[in-house]
Amino acid sequence: MRVLTVVGARPQFIKSAPVSKAFLAQGIEEYIVHTGQHYDDSMSAVFFDQLGLPKPIYTLSAGGLNRDAMIASIRKDLLPILESVRPDYVLVYGDTNSTLAGALAADELAIPLLHIEAGLRSFNDEMPEEINRIQTDELSTILFTPSEEANKNIEAEGFLAPFQKVVTVGDVMYDALLMFKDFSRHSAQMGDIDTFNSPFALATLHRQENVKHPERLKERIQTLNTLHNSGLNVWMPLHPSTKQQITANGISIDFITAAPVGYLEMLWLLEKAQIVLTDSGGLQKEAYFMNKPCITLRNETEWTELVDSGANELFTLSRPAQEIISVVERLKNATMPVQEFYGKGDAAALITRTLKNLS
């Protein structure tokens, strides 16, 4: 069996690690195409080095394009690759432009599509990720879902065709965290290790809904400034696009920033941090897996079960920045729920078993 995997963004590199390992163990041939969606070395190539992923057979150059142009470019470049490899399946992860481009290319050549992390919904049509994930689900042959909530979303939409199958496997990011957490580490680019001996909040900010709107970005940064100035240090690895927008709009930062870090460094930071503030879908779950409370800097989240359980709280736009102090104090003292929503850390094995049973 041949599977061609399309990856292009940081979370996809992480998600693919346990799946690639499971494929190798079960004799499934995997051909990886890196779309180049994230072209900064600290956000891309380093993951292949740190995670020991198979090297891509092709690396495309889609980085820096707007959404429509990026999807069109990746789709076009994938077509001759697919015709050359002739895979039994195309595999995509999540909800990025690379995800949808891979789905469209597979559909054009009538190659069955596998979608890992299917069924997630934010119900916010302003997010390009929402459009990507819905269209990818509609084109998928097998929808591998991470949770029962994802299944409910698919059922409610009622789009499933006879050729489509929903398989609940859990979250491959939990697989990855269990695989690599013992290798977490501090690195020199993070600064003096003694900085992390005092309590701190780990923050990230990169979603277009926050970053591409100057007023929203200012509001989010002010919230983090307020928390930092209250006495709890805020430490943020600064995403390149976020840094660019902060500079372009003359926004002042009071908290601690550093260059983007690798996955193993992020796991180290999660272990040390008291609390997480983020607009990243992946980091919300990783905080939960690491038993850390999380504040989501968005108006909604795909991971609604985390909010319902009390592990996560939405900090919506227009909430007074000063409120962040009381929210952090409350969550720091709350009891975290036991991990039960996203499987047992065997999602990659269940995915592989499903495919082997079909061969």
Instruction: List, by residue number, the catalytic residues.
Output: 206
Instruction: Report strand pairing: 29-34 vs 113-116.
Output: unpaired
Residue matched to tokens 């039994």: 88
The answer to whether the CB of 97 falls within 8 A of the CB of 37 is yes
Residue matched to tokens 């094995």: 349
| Bridge partners, residue 168, by sequence | 145
* Two structure tokens written together for 231: 């006495």
Cα distance between residue 40 and residue 262, in whole Å: 12
Cα separation of the two ends of the chain = 7
**CB-CB neighbours of 182 under 10 Å:** 8
Angle between helices 172-180 and 10-25 (to 10 degrees): 80
Closest CA to 103 of 10, 173, 169, 8: 8
The answer to whether the CB of 67 falls within 8 A of the CB of 90 is no
**CB-CB neighbours of 270 under 10 Å:** 20
* Two structure tokens written together for 63: 């980085």
Instruction: Report strand pairing: 89-93 vs 58-59.
Output: unpaired
Cα distance between residue 282 and residue 303, in whole Å: 10
Torsion on CA atoms 109, 114, 115, 116, rounded to nearest 10: -150
Q: Where are the beta strands (DSSP E) in 82-178?
A: 89-93, 113-116, 142-145, 165-168
